[in-house]
Structure 1
C-alpha cells in the first residue's frame, strides 16, 4: 500500500513517510492510493472474531510490507485493550460507546495506535521526534496520554484558551514530562492553522524532525474504522442482520471519514448521518454545493467547534469529489445548543441514559432521520462527566446525583503555557524543545 496526497495524487509515499510527514509536501492530506476490498468470507463472519482480530484483518492491507504481522498484532492488542460496548437506548437505536479508554473519549484508539506505530518506526533514530497536535477538546488528552514518556518523542499540544472543559484541560496539561501543552488565545481553527503552518515551514522542517498527531495524520484516522466493524459485529450478535444507519457527531470529520472508508472496504452500512453543531459548513455544502467555511462558533459541544473541517476533502475524495454520489450516502444535520440541552434532559428522564453534548447531537440527528423499519447506531464520543458545566443544570442532582463523579485539580500554569495565535511564537517554542 502506498499513500498519495489529495493535491498531487501522482506522487506516492510509503506508510512511514506519510506518518512522519503528517501533511503531504504540497500541504494537503494523505490518502491510501486505493481502498482495499475485504473478502466476502470476512464480511460474512467477522462478528465471530475478537476486536483485536477484526482490527488486525482490517488494518493489515494498509501496513503490509512495512509492519510485520507480529508487530501489528501487538499494536492492535495494545490499542484495543478496553471495552467498546453497544448499548440499546430505545427500540431501533443503539449507542456505540467509545469512551471506555484511558481518557474517556473516542480519540484514545487513534492516539494509541499512532503512538505505537511511530514508536516502532522511530526505533534506532538518533534525533528527537516532535509531534504537533491541535485540539478542540478530547484529542489533546488522548495524545498526551498515548505519547506520555514515549522515548525519543516530544509532544506539543495546542488548545484554545478557555474553550475546552476543565476536565479536558486537566487531561491535556497534567502529564508533563515530554508533553508540552499551550493554551492559544484564539479558536481551534487558530490552533489547527498554526500546526499546518509549521508543516509548511520548510526551513523549520530541515531543523526539526516532526509529525502530527491530529486526524490529519493518516495513522490516527485508519484505526477508527474498527469502531464501525465493532458496531455491526455487536448488532449481529444480538440478532440484527440488516445494515444499520450510522450517525457520527462531526467536527473535523475524521471519525465519519473512517466510517466511510470502512464502508468502502465492504462493511454493510445503509447510510451515514453527520451531526454538526452551529459550525455547519458541511450541512450548508450538502444543501447548496458551495463549500463556505466560516470562523469557528463556540458551542457546548466544543469538540465539534470546527469552522473548516480538515478531513472533509478526504471524505469528498472517497466519493470522487462528486456531490450527487455523496448525497446518496450522507445526510448532514446541524443541531443547536438548546436542542442538545433538551435532548440530554429528556433522554435521561425517559430512558435513564446520560449523554454528553456531542453524543446528544448524534442521537438527535439519528432520531430526526431514522425510519421505522431501520436500525440506527449513534456514536457516543465522550464520557458525560467531562461536561459537568453543561449537564449539572439539566438533571436532578447533577452528575454526582446520577452517579458520575471524578476528582481532579488543574495544574497551576505559568505565563509560558499561554501563547498568542501568531506562528512566530510557536516556531520559537518548537525550536527550544528540539
Structure 2
C-alpha cells in the first residue's frame, strides 16, 4: 500500500514506513493513495465471517503484499484476542455498539494492540530500539501502555494532562513501570499534544531516537478501527442495514475517520453524526467555515476535551477524494447539563448505564434521527472508568470489574512537568 503526506503530497511511503514514522514531513498525516472498494457481493461474503477472520481479511486487503498475509493474520488474531464488540438494543430504533470489552475497557484496545503487534513484527527485522511517544486525554494511555508493556526494544512515553483524567484511567497506565514512562503535564491535552508534535520536529531527537507515535494519527491504529464498523453491520438486523446512521463521540476524530474509510470501501452506511462536547471546534467550523479553536475546556467527557483534533484533515481528504458533500455530515455538540440529563434518561427509561462520551453520541443521535432511520451510537468506554461521575449522576453503586479490581492500591509512577519542551527533550534523550 502507498500513502502520501497530506502536507507534502510528494512524500510517499509504504504502509510499513507509515507505521514506523508515524508522521511525515512538517508533521503531516499519512493518507492512503488508493483504498480497496468491495462490491456488494464481497461485502456480503465478509459479513458472513466472524469478527477476527473478517478483520484479518479486511486488513490484509488494505495493507497489501508488503507484509506477508500470515503475519497480518497472526497479528490480528493476537491483537483481537478478547471479547468482541456487543450490540445493545436501547429503543425500537436505537442501538449502542459497545467497544469497551477489551483489557483496558475502551475502544482504543483494538487499534493500540494491532499497532503493537504489527510494529513488533516490523521491528524484529532490524532489531532497533523504538521510542513510542504519545499524548492521551484519557483512554489512549492505558490502551497503548498495556499493548506495548514489556515488549522487547520498545520504550513508551505517555503524556497526560494532570488532574484531567479519571482515577481508573490513570491507575490503568501510570502504575506499570518497566518500559512504560508516564508524565503528567500541568496543562491541557492540547498542550501535551503540542509537546509531542514538537518532539517529532526536533532534529536532535530525530538523530538520536527512533521516534514513533501511537495516537490515532498512526495508520495502523486507524486501519484496525475500520474493522468494528463492519461488525456493526454483522450484528445489526438485516432489514436495517440500508437505513443505518452512526453517531460517534469525537475527540481526535480517529473513529469518524475510520468509519468514513469503511464507507468509502463499500460499507453502506447511510450517514454519520459527529458529536462533540463543549470543545466544539469542528461543529463551529462546519457552521461558519472558520477554523477557530478556543482554549480547551475540562468536561466530564475528558477523552473529548480536544480543541485541535489531529485527524480532521483526513476527514476532509476523504470527502474531497470521494467527491462527497461535507454538508451531508451531521454534527452537533452537547453541554454538560444535557450530557448529565441523557445519562439519567438512558438509565431511568431504558435501564442502560452509560458514561459521558456515549451519552453525548446518544443525545445527538436521538435528536437528529429521522423516523425511517435506525441509529447506532458508539459506546467507547466502560462506565466504571468514570465511576465517580456516573455514580454521582445516577445515585447508584457500579459493580466493579474483576479485571481492574487489583489496580487501585498500585503506586502512581508518573513524573510531573510544566508544558516545557526542554524538560521533555531531556527525558527523551536520557539527559
Structure 1 stretch 318-327 or stretch 389-398: which is displaced more? 318-327
Q: 1:36 — aligned with what?
A: 36
**What CA deviation, in whole Å up to 9, does each residue of 1:371-414 have, x standing for no partner?**
11111010000000111121111223332499999463264346
Equivalent-residue separation in structure 2 for 1:366 and 1:397 (angstroms): 26
Equivalent-residue separation in structure 1 for 2:49 and 2:243 (angstroms): 18
Q: Does the C-alpha gap of structure 1 residues 76 and 241 become closer, same or farther in structure 2, counting only changes over 3 Å?
A: same
Using the TM superposition, give the Cα deviation of residue 61 of structure 1 relative to its aligned residue in structure 2, in angstroms: 2.8
Q: 2:427 — aligned with what?
A: 429
* Aligned residue runs from structure 1 range 191-210, under 5 A: 191-210=192-211
> Is 2:393 aligned against 1:394?
yes
Tell me the SS of whatever aligns to 1:11: strand
Structure 1 stretch 249-258 or stretch 35-44: which is displaced more? 35-44
Using the TM superposition, give the Cα deviation of residue 26 of structure 1 relative to its aligned residue in structure 2, in angstroms: 2.5
Tell me the SS of whatever aligns to 1:105: coil
Q: 1:107 — aligned with what?
A: 108
Equivalent-residue separation in structure 1 for 2:270 and 2:9 (angstroms): 30
Equivalent-residue separation in structure 2 for 1:373 and 1:299 (angstroms): 34
Q: 1:285 — aligned with what?
A: 285
Using the TM superposition, give the Cα deviation of residue 124 of structure 1 relative to its aligned residue in structure 2, in angstroms: 4.0
Tell me the SS of whatever aligns to 1:412: coil
Q: Is the 8 A contact 2:264 2:322 kept in 1?
A: no
Equivalent-residue separation in structure 2 for 1:401 and 1:51 (angstroms): 27
Structure 1 stretch 221-230 or stretch 75-84: which is displaced more? 75-84
Equivalent-residue separation in structure 2 for 1:324 and 1:146 (angstroms): 36
**What CA deviation, in whole Å up to 9, does each residue of 1:215-267 have, x standing for no partner?**
1111111110111110011114x653324100100001011100000000000
Q: 1:383 — aligned with what?
A: 382
Q: 2:226 — aligned with what?
A: 225
Structure 1 stretch 3-12 or stretch 101-110: which is displaced more? 3-12
Tell me the SS of whatever aligns to 1:10: strand
Q: Is the 8 A contact 2:172 2:407 kept in 1?
A: no
Root-mean-square deviation (Å)? 2.0
Q: Is the 8 A contact 1:97 1:380 kept in 2?
A: yes
Equivalent-residue separation in structure 1 for 2:31 and 2:263 (angstroms): 16
Equivalent-residue separation in structure 2 for 1:156 and 1:123 (angstroms): 21
Q: Is the 8 A contact 2:51 2:84 kept in 1?
A: no
**What CA deviation, in whole Å up to 9, does each residue of 1:333-374 have, x standing for no partner?**
100111111111121011110001001001111001001111
Q: Is the 8 A contact 2:2 2:14 kept in 1?
A: yes
Q: 2:263 — aligned with what?
A: 263
Equivalent-residue separation in structure 1 for 2:61 and 2:113 (angstroms): 19
Structure 1 stretch 55-64 or stretch 190-199: which is displaced more? 55-64
Using the TM superposition, give the Cα deviation of residue 8 of structure 1 relative to its aligned residue in structure 2, in angstroms: 1.4
Q: Is the 8 A contact 1:87 1:97 kept in 2?
A: yes
> Is 2:3 aligned against 1:3?
yes
Structure 1 stretch 80-89 or stretch 358-367: which is displaced more? 80-89
Using the TM superposition, give the Cα deviation of residue 78 of structure 1 relative to its aligned residue in structure 2, in angstroms: 1.8
**What CA deviation, in whole Å up to 9, does each residue of 1:43-71 have, x standing for no partner?**
13322111112212222233212211111
Q: 2:72 — aligned with what?
A: 72
TM-score of the pair, normalised by structure 2: 0.96
Equivalent-residue separation in structure 2 for 1:168 and 1:423 (angstroms): 25
Tell me the SS of whatever aligns to 2:25: coil
Could you tell me which runs of 5 or more consecutive residues in structure 1 were left unpaired when the two chains were aligned: none
Equivalent-residue separation in structure 2 for 1:169 and 1:49 (angstroms): 37
Q: Is the 8 A contact 1:137 1:164 kept in 2?
A: yes
Equivalent-residue separation in structure 2 for 1:400 and 1:74 (angstroms): 35
Q: 1:357 — aligned with what?
A: 356
Matched pairs, number? 430
